[in-house]
Amino acid sequence: MKIAVFVSGGGTNLQAIIDNTKTGILKDIEIVLVLSSSPSAYALTRAADNGIPSVVMRAADYPSREQWDSEMAECVQKSGAELIVLAGYLSLLGPKTVSMYSNRIINIHPALIPSFCGAGMYGIKPHKAALARGVKVSGATVHFVNENYDDGPILLQKSVDVLPGDTPETLQKRIMQECEWKILPKAIRLIADGKVSIENNIAYVTE
Ligand code: GRF
Protein backbone atom coordinates (compact mmCIF):
# COMPACT_ATOMS: atom_id res chain seq x y z
CA MET A 1 0.00 0.00 0.00
CA LYS A 2 1.20 3.54 -0.81
CA ILE A 3 0.84 6.21 1.88
CA ALA A 4 1.33 9.97 2.18
CA VAL A 5 2.51 11.25 5.57
CA PHE A 6 1.62 14.79 6.61
CA VAL A 7 3.92 16.53 9.09
CA SER A 8 4.51 19.90 10.76
CA GLY A 9 7.40 19.41 13.16
CA GLY A 10 10.05 17.03 14.42
CA GLY A 11 8.73 14.00 12.57
CA THR A 12 9.36 11.35 15.23
CA ASN A 13 6.14 9.60 14.21
CA LEU A 14 7.25 9.76 10.56
CA GLN A 15 10.53 8.21 11.68
CA ALA A 16 8.68 5.41 13.44
CA ILE A 17 6.82 4.68 10.20
CA ILE A 18 10.05 4.82 8.15
CA ASP A 19 11.80 2.47 10.59
CA ASN A 20 8.91 -0.02 10.35
CA THR A 21 9.01 0.01 6.54
CA LYS A 22 12.68 -1.01 6.79
CA THR A 23 12.80 -3.54 9.60
CA GLY A 24 9.37 -3.74 11.14
CA ILE A 25 5.72 -4.47 10.41
CA LEU A 26 5.43 -2.15 7.38
CA LYS A 27 7.90 -3.72 4.91
CA ASP A 28 5.25 -3.77 2.16
CA ILE A 29 4.25 -0.15 2.72
CA GLU A 30 5.69 2.61 0.51
CA ILE A 31 5.80 6.23 1.72
CA VAL A 32 5.30 8.00 -1.61
CA LEU A 33 5.05 11.55 -0.23
CA VAL A 34 5.79 13.61 2.86
CA LEU A 35 3.71 16.81 2.92
CA SER A 36 4.67 19.48 5.44
CA SER A 37 2.79 22.57 6.60
CA SER A 38 6.15 24.13 7.53
CA PRO A 39 9.35 24.59 5.48
CA SER A 40 11.43 24.28 8.65
CA ALA A 41 10.01 20.96 9.86
CA TYR A 42 12.82 18.55 10.74
CA ALA A 43 10.52 15.86 9.37
CA LEU A 44 11.56 17.12 5.90
CA THR A 45 15.17 16.23 6.72
CA ARG A 46 14.06 12.75 7.79
CA ALA A 47 12.24 12.38 4.44
CA ALA A 48 15.28 13.56 2.45
CA ASP A 49 17.60 11.26 4.41
CA ASN A 50 15.39 8.36 3.33
CA GLY A 51 14.87 9.38 -0.30
CA ILE A 52 11.18 10.17 0.19
CA PRO A 53 9.72 12.94 -2.02
CA SER A 54 8.41 15.88 -0.01
CA VAL A 55 6.45 19.06 -0.55
CA VAL A 56 5.62 22.07 1.62
CA MET A 57 2.05 23.33 1.36
CA ARG A 58 1.11 26.26 3.58
CA ALA A 59 -2.41 27.68 3.31
CA ALA A 60 -0.94 31.17 3.73
CA ASP A 61 0.99 30.73 0.46
CA TYR A 62 -2.24 30.40 -1.55
CA PRO A 63 -4.77 33.04 -2.68
CA SER A 64 -7.51 31.14 -0.88
CA ARG A 65 -8.02 28.15 1.41
CA GLU A 66 -10.10 26.57 -1.34
CA GLN A 67 -7.17 26.70 -3.78
CA TRP A 68 -4.83 25.33 -1.12
CA ASP A 69 -7.26 22.48 -0.47
CA SER A 70 -7.71 21.71 -4.19
CA GLU A 71 -3.98 21.68 -4.87
CA MET A 72 -3.36 19.50 -1.83
CA ALA A 73 -5.96 16.96 -2.95
CA GLU A 74 -4.47 16.92 -6.45
CA CYS A 75 -0.91 16.58 -5.15
CA VAL A 76 -1.77 13.60 -2.96
CA GLN A 77 -3.84 11.93 -5.67
CA LYS A 78 -0.96 12.29 -8.16
CA SER A 79 1.40 10.66 -5.66
CA GLY A 80 -0.72 7.52 -5.82
CA ALA A 81 -1.21 7.47 -2.06
CA GLU A 82 -4.09 5.27 -0.91
CA LEU A 83 -3.95 6.44 2.73
CA ILE A 84 -3.06 9.78 4.31
CA VAL A 85 -1.35 9.59 7.72
CA LEU A 86 -1.28 12.79 9.80
CA ALA A 87 1.86 12.46 11.94
CA GLY A 88 2.32 15.57 14.04
CA TYR A 89 0.41 17.59 11.42
CA LEU A 90 -1.18 20.69 12.91
CA SER A 91 -3.45 22.11 10.22
CA LEU A 92 -7.15 21.34 9.74
CA LEU A 93 -7.62 19.67 6.35
CA GLY A 94 -9.89 21.21 3.74
CA PRO A 95 -13.21 19.60 2.71
CA LYS A 96 -11.99 18.57 -0.76
CA THR A 97 -9.04 16.59 0.61
CA VAL A 98 -11.16 15.07 3.36
CA SER A 99 -13.91 14.00 0.94
CA MET A 100 -11.44 12.66 -1.66
CA TYR A 101 -9.88 10.49 1.07
CA SER A 102 -13.03 9.75 3.04
CA ASN A 103 -12.24 7.16 5.75
CA ARG A 104 -8.67 6.97 4.36
CA ILE A 105 -7.07 9.62 6.59
CA ILE A 106 -5.79 8.78 10.08
CA ASN A 107 -4.28 11.00 12.77
CA ILE A 108 -2.24 10.38 15.93
CA HIS A 109 -3.35 12.44 18.92
CA PRO A 110 -1.29 12.50 22.13
CA ALA A 111 -4.17 11.85 24.54
CA LEU A 112 -7.02 9.36 25.06
CA ILE A 113 -9.79 10.98 22.97
CA PRO A 114 -12.33 12.35 23.93
CA SER A 115 -10.08 13.71 26.69
CA PHE A 116 -7.77 16.64 26.05
CA CYS A 117 -8.43 17.08 22.34
CA GLY A 118 -9.94 19.54 19.88
CA ALA A 119 -8.80 22.89 18.56
CA GLY A 120 -5.65 24.16 20.23
CA MET A 121 -4.88 20.82 21.94
CA TYR A 122 -1.58 19.85 20.32
CA GLY A 123 2.08 19.33 21.20
CA ILE A 124 2.73 19.72 24.93
CA LYS A 125 -0.74 21.12 25.70
CA PRO A 126 -2.64 17.81 26.09
CA HIS A 127 0.00 16.64 28.57
CA LYS A 128 -0.18 19.85 30.58
CA ALA A 129 -3.98 19.53 30.69
CA ALA A 130 -3.80 15.87 31.73
CA LEU A 131 -1.47 16.62 34.64
CA ALA A 132 -3.54 19.67 35.64
CA ARG A 133 -6.66 17.44 35.76
CA GLY A 134 -4.82 14.82 37.82
CA VAL A 135 -5.59 11.87 35.54
CA LYS A 136 -3.94 8.56 36.51
CA VAL A 137 -3.52 7.29 32.94
CA SER A 138 -3.01 9.06 29.65
CA GLY A 139 -1.85 7.91 26.25
CA ALA A 140 -2.40 8.29 22.53
CA THR A 141 -5.20 7.74 20.03
CA VAL A 142 -5.23 6.91 16.33
CA HIS A 143 -8.50 8.05 14.79
CA PHE A 144 -9.98 8.59 11.35
CA VAL A 145 -10.09 12.22 10.26
CA ASN A 146 -13.07 14.30 9.21
CA GLU A 147 -13.40 18.08 8.84
CA ASN A 148 -13.21 18.70 12.58
CA TYR A 149 -10.27 18.41 14.96
CA ASP A 150 -9.85 14.97 16.59
CA ASP A 151 -13.46 14.03 15.81
CA GLY A 152 -13.52 10.91 13.59
CA PRO A 153 -13.93 7.23 14.55
CA ILE A 154 -11.35 5.99 17.06
CA LEU A 155 -9.22 3.13 15.67
CA LEU A 156 -6.55 2.39 18.29
CA GLN A 157 -5.65 3.70 21.74
CA LYS A 158 -2.75 2.87 24.07
CA SER A 159 -2.29 4.15 27.62
CA VAL A 160 0.52 4.67 30.11
CA ASP A 161 0.34 5.36 33.84
CA VAL A 162 0.94 8.92 34.95
CA LEU A 163 3.88 8.62 37.35
CA PRO A 164 4.62 10.62 40.50
CA GLY A 165 6.79 13.59 39.57
CA ASP A 166 5.80 13.49 35.92
CA THR A 167 6.20 16.77 34.09
CA PRO A 168 4.43 17.52 30.79
CA GLU A 169 7.74 16.79 29.08
CA THR A 170 8.37 13.41 30.75
CA LEU A 171 4.78 12.35 30.13
CA GLN A 172 4.97 13.45 26.48
CA LYS A 173 8.19 11.52 25.91
CA ARG A 174 6.80 8.32 27.49
CA ILE A 175 3.58 8.55 25.47
CA MET A 176 5.51 9.09 22.24
CA GLN A 177 7.88 6.18 22.93
CA GLU A 178 5.41 3.68 24.39
CA CYS A 179 2.22 4.65 22.60
CA GLU A 180 2.45 6.87 19.50
CA TRP A 181 5.37 5.20 17.80
CA LYS A 182 3.67 1.81 18.31
CA ILE A 183 -0.01 2.34 17.51
CA LEU A 184 0.46 4.54 14.42
CA PRO A 185 2.44 1.87 12.52
CA LYS A 186 0.01 -0.78 13.83
CA ALA A 187 -2.96 1.24 12.51
CA ILE A 188 -1.36 1.43 9.06
CA ARG A 189 -0.80 -2.35 9.18
CA LEU A 190 -4.41 -3.07 10.07
CA ILE A 191 -5.74 -0.83 7.31
CA ALA A 192 -3.32 -2.28 4.73
CA ASP A 193 -4.53 -5.77 5.73
CA GLY A 194 -8.17 -4.74 5.28
CA LYS A 195 -8.95 -5.49 8.91
CA VAL A 196 -10.75 -2.21 9.68
CA SER A 197 -14.39 -1.34 9.11
CA ILE A 198 -16.48 1.68 10.11
CA GLU A 199 -20.18 1.54 11.01
CA ASN A 200 -22.18 4.38 12.55
CA ASN A 201 -18.99 6.36 13.19
CA ILE A 202 -17.45 3.45 15.14
CA ALA A 203 -14.29 1.75 13.85
CA TYR A 204 -14.04 -2.03 14.23
CA VAL A 205 -10.91 -4.18 13.91
CA THR A 206 -11.31 -7.76 12.72
CA GLU A 207 -8.18 -9.64 13.85
C1 GRF B 1 3.42 14.36 18.88
O2 GRF B 1 3.12 14.48 20.26
C3 GRF B 1 2.17 13.92 18.15
O4 GRF B 1 1.32 13.11 18.91
C5 GRF B 1 1.50 15.19 17.86
O6 GRF B 1 2.57 16.05 17.48
C7 GRF B 1 3.72 15.74 18.28
C8 GRF B 1 4.98 15.78 17.45
O9 GRF B 1 4.95 14.70 16.59
N10 GRF B 1 0.48 15.04 16.86
P11 GRF B 1 6.22 14.40 15.62
O12 GRF B 1 7.44 14.25 16.49
O13 GRF B 1 6.34 15.57 14.68
O14 GRF B 1 5.83 13.13 14.92
Check whether 149 has a pLDDT greater than 90.
no
Pocket perturbation via mutation, ligand 1, pick of 6, 90, 180, 181 by most ligand atoms within 8 A of CB: 180
- Predicted confidence at residue 148, as pLDDT, reads 84
Query: For 58-84, how does the pLDDT look when each residue is reduced to its tens digit (9 = 90+)?
Result: 999 999 999 999 999 999 999 999 999
Between 54 and 119, the more confident residue is: 54
35: Cα within 13 Å, side-chain hemisphere: 29
- Atom number of ligand 1 nearest to Cα 90: 10
Percentage of the chain lying above the pLDDT 90 cut = 96
Could you tell me the pTM of the whole model?
0.97
**Catalytic one of 26, 35, 72, 109:** 109
pLDDT at 153: 97
How far apart are the CA of 88 and the centre of ligand 1, in A?
4
pLDDT tens, position by position, 156-185? 999 999 999 999 999 999 999 999 999 999
Instruction: Tell me the CATH number at 12.
Output: 3.40.50.170
Give, using CA atoms, the residue closest to atom 13 of ligand 1. Answer: 11
pLDDT confidence of residue 207: 78
List residues near ligand 1 (CB under 6 A). 7, 9-14, 43, 87-88, 108, 110, 123, 176, 180
Kindly give the number of the ligand 1 atom that is closest to the alpha carbon of 16: 14
pLDDT per residue as tens digits for the range 99-143: 999 999 999 999 999 999 999 999 999 999 999 999 999 999 999
Domain that holds residue 57: 2-205
Tell me how far the alpha carbon of residue 106 lies from the centroid of ligand 1, in angstroms. Answer: 13
109 catalytic residue (yes or no): yes
Asked if pLDDT for residue 33 goes beyond 90, the answer is: yes
Total tally of structural domains belonging to the chain: 1
The predicted structure's pLDDT at residue 49: 98
User: Residue 200, exposed/middle/buried by CB under 10 A (0-12, 13-18, 19+)?
Assistant: exposed
Q: What DSSP string runs through the chain?
A: -EEEEEESS--HHHHHHHHHHHHSTTTT-EEEEEEES-TT-HHHHHHHHTT--EEE--GGGSS-HHHHHHHHHHHHHHHT-SEEEESS--SPPPHHHHHHTTT-EEEEESS-TTSS-STT--TTHHHHHHHHHT-SEEEEEEEE--SSTT-S-EEEEEEEEPPTT--HHHHHHHHIIIIIHHHHHHHHHHHHTT-EEEETTEEEE--
Q: What is the pLDDT of residue 99?
A: 96
- List the residue whose alpha carbon is closest to atom 1 of ligand 1: 88
Q: Ligand 1: which residue has its CA nearest to atom 3?
A: 88
CB atoms within 10 A of CB 21: 19
pLDDT tens digits, 78-94:
999 999 999 999 999 99
